[in-house]
């Protein structure tokens, strides 16, 4: 799209005739052949000769932007917009640069102007929707995506964006709800919904029942519970539970407007929060439910289009959510076939391979990603930890050190490096890394590793303390499992 912007800038006659023709022509050729870095000094020379020329400033800005120098491009676009505030290529390029710099809030302004200047431009609207979504302005983002689906109904990116925005809206509503009242029965009901999505029916059963203790008249939960019974092979119990749903009186729409809207299938209304006063847990609950429903509808539309990168992404994310990491990897691979070399997809593929415990494949993908971005802490960690799990700690160490050099707070890399160094017999060097990683220790294993490192380096007192802590954490985990097992019983309807 940015190439198109460049050529439209040229076509718009923004290059001045008094530029030295040869230089201008050369810069143009370099841009056309993708050698943006080489075009930059030529444009700088031309600007030095003709300071303030907006066409040249725009071209230099585009060259910087397309060469990946986002910070350098921003002041150039801003300079152009001072003299030509409605120039579409400058507005869109500034928006794109701000998005690339992960400054979506700052991208919104220029992109809104671009959309105002050309309402039927799908690129401008798509970028605006992305920016609004990135800035967590979900209602506005959804509105822009909806308009985009009207403009380009066959473009999978529009439906994907809409679906993801509603998903983000639902997650945001859940977070707000949880912060406001973590013990709320509405929280329990939403947790149960996510457990159903992950096929964790026993856990879903527990949380639905928790919700029903305080909200016996809420609509939808008995029906969801009936579905849990069906999925777990209890059709008679499912029928009884479904009957309870049927026997619920209609909600009082004056007191529970969102519930009424949702039950009536008016999701766009249910998703809207009251304009005045703080959102109640109940309003946030129905917003989350409605947003999920709207997300699902968008993604169903996406599924009706021919296979696309976006469709495979959605499938991959669903599979990942359900802990089906091999399936997720298959979808990321399919997405990559439609968008070869896409760095984000490669990253996700590496992560899915890693989560699927296919460390050889994870390593291969991480190394590809590192070729492009050698400092990526996540990919260095993925590569390093994969080598460790393949029992080659000597190969893990350089990657893990690189991960920590890029992100010194990456405790998982500390843990992995600590174990790698222990395996290499460097116990004294391992201990500080394991100490740093202890905050991650939810099962005692890091304390165990630390105890062995202390023991091997002759520090028996510290070894004893760490081993005691290991045993305490193990006991805690065992107690939690026992409690979870008690919770996990699926019982007949009361």
- Using CB under 8 A, list all residues that contact other proteins: 199, 201, 231-233, 324, 326, 356-358, 361, 389-393, 419, 422-423, 425, 443-449, 452, 456, 467, 470-471, 481
The 8 Å CB, 24+ separation contacts for 2-9 are: 2/62, 2/65, 2/66, 2/93, 2/96, 3/66, 5/62, 5/89, 5/92, 5/93, 6/31, 6/59, 6/62, 6/66, 6/89, 7/32, 8/89, 9/55, 9/58, 9/59, 9/62, 9/89
Measured from the CB atom, the residue of 326 and 405 that comes closer to other proteins is 326
Least distance between other proteins and beta carbon 248 (Å): 27
Measured from the CB atom, the residue of 226 and 356 that comes closer to other proteins is 356
Least distance between other proteins and beta carbon 26 (Å): 52
Asked if residues 286 and 262 have their Cβ atoms less than 8 Å apart, the reply is yes
Measured from the CB atom, the residue of 292 and 422 that comes closer to other proteins is 422
Work out the burial of residue 153: count CB atoms within 10 Å of its CB; fewer than 13 is exposed, 13-18 middle, 19 or more buried: exposed
Measured from the CB atom, the residue of 6 and 201 that comes closer to other proteins is 201
Least distance between other proteins and beta carbon 359 (Å): 8
Least distance between other proteins and beta carbon 423 (Å): 5
**Residue corresponding to tokens 């198109």:** 4
- Alpha-helical regions (H) of 135-266: 138-151, 156-180, 185-197, 201-214, 221-231, 235-247, 257-263
Measured from the CB atom, the residue of 18 and 391 that comes closer to other proteins is 391
The Cα 158–Cα 153 span in angstroms is: 7
Least distance between other proteins and beta carbon 367 (Å): 18
**Residue corresponding to tokens 């994870």:** 362
Measured from the CB atom, the residue of 200 and 342 that comes closer to other proteins is 200
Asked if residues 415 and 434 have their Cβ atoms less than 8 Å apart, the reply is yes
**Residue corresponding to tokens 């510290």:** 462
Which sign, positive or negative, has the C-alpha torsion 56, 60, 66, 71? negative
Q: Which residues contact 236 (CB under 8 A, 6 or more apart)?
A: none
Least distance between other proteins and beta carbon 398 (Å): 17
Reading phi first (left if > 0) and then psi (alpha if -120 to 50, else beta), residue 410 is in beta
The Cα 58–Cα 9 span in angstroms is: 8
Measured from the CB atom, the residue of 136 and 478 that comes closer to other proteins is 478
Measured from the CB atom, the residue of 160 and 353 that comes closer to other proteins is 353
Tokens of 334: 């399919």
- Alpha-helical regions (H) of 323-443: 325-338, 343-355, 359-372, 377-389, 393-406, 411-423, 427-437
Least distance between other proteins and beta carbon 472 (Å): 13
Measured from the CB atom, the residue of 187 and 356 that comes closer to other proteins is 356
Measured from the CB atom, the residue of 342 and 474 that comes closer to other proteins is 474
**CA-wise closest residue to 491 among 289, 201, 256:** 201
3-state helix, strand, coil split of the chain in percent (to 5) is: 75, 0, 25
């Amino acid at each position: 799209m940015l190439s198109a912007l460049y050529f439209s800038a040229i076509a718009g006659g923004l290059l001045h005739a008094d530029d030295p023709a040869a230089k201008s022509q050369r810069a143009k050729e370099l841009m056309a052949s993708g050698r943006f870095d080489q075009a930059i000094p030529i444009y700088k020379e031309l600007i030095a000769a003709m300071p303030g020329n907006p066409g040249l400033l725009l071209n230099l800005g585009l060259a910087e932007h397309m060469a990946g120098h986002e910070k350098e491009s921003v002041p150039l676009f801003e300079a152009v917009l001072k003299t030509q505030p409605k120039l579409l290529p400058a507005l869109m390029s500034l928006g794109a640069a701000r998005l690339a710099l992960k400054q979506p809030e700052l991208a919104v302004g220029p992109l809104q102007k671009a959309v105002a200047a050309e309402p039927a431009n799908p690129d401008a609207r798509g970028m605006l929707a992305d920016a609004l979504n990135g800035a967590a302005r979900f209602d506005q983002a959804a509105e822009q995506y909806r308009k985009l689906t009207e403009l380009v109904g066959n473009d999978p990116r529009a439906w994907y964006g809409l679906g993801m925005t509603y998903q983000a809206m639902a997650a945001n509503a859940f977070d707000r709800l949880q912060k406001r009242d973590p013990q709320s029965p509405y929280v329990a009901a939403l947790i149960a919904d996510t457990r159903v999505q992950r096929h964790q029916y026993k856990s879903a059963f527990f949380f639905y029942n928790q919700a029903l203790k305080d909200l016996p008249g809420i609509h939808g939960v008995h029906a969801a519970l009936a579905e849990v019974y069906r999925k777990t092979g209890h059709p008679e119990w499912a029928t009884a539970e479904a009957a309870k749903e049927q026997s619920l009186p209609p909600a009082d729409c004056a007191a529970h407007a969102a519930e009424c809207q949702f039950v009536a299938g008016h999701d766009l209304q249910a998703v809207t929060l009251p304009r005045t006063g703080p959102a109640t847990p109940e309003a946030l609950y129905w917003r989350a439910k409605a947003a999920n429903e709207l997300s699902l509808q968008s993604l169903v539309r996406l599924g009706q289009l021919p296979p696309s990168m976006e469709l495979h992404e959605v499938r991959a994310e669903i599979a990942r959510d359900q802990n089906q990491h091999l399936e997720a990897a298959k979808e990321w691979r399919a997405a990559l076939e439609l968008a070869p070399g896409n760095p984000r997809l490669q990253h996700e593929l590496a992560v899915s391979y890693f989560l699927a415990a296919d460390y050889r494949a994870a390593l291969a993908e991480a190394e590809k990603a590192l070729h492009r971005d050698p400092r990526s802490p996540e990919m260095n960690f993925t590569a390093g930890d994969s080598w460790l799990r393949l029992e080659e700690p000597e190969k893990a160490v350089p990657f893990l050190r690189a991960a920590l050099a890029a992100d010194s707070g990456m405790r998982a890399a500390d843990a992995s490096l600590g174990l790698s160094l222990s395996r290499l017999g460097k116990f004294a060097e391992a201990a500080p890394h394991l100490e740093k990683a202890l905050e991650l220790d939810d099962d005692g294993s890091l304390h165990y590793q630390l105890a062995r490192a202390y023991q091997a380096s002759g520090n028996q007192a510290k070894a004893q303390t760490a081993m005691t802590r290991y045993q305490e954490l193990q006991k805690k985990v065992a107690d939690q499992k026992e409690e979870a097992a008690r919770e996990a019983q699926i019982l007949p309807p009361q």
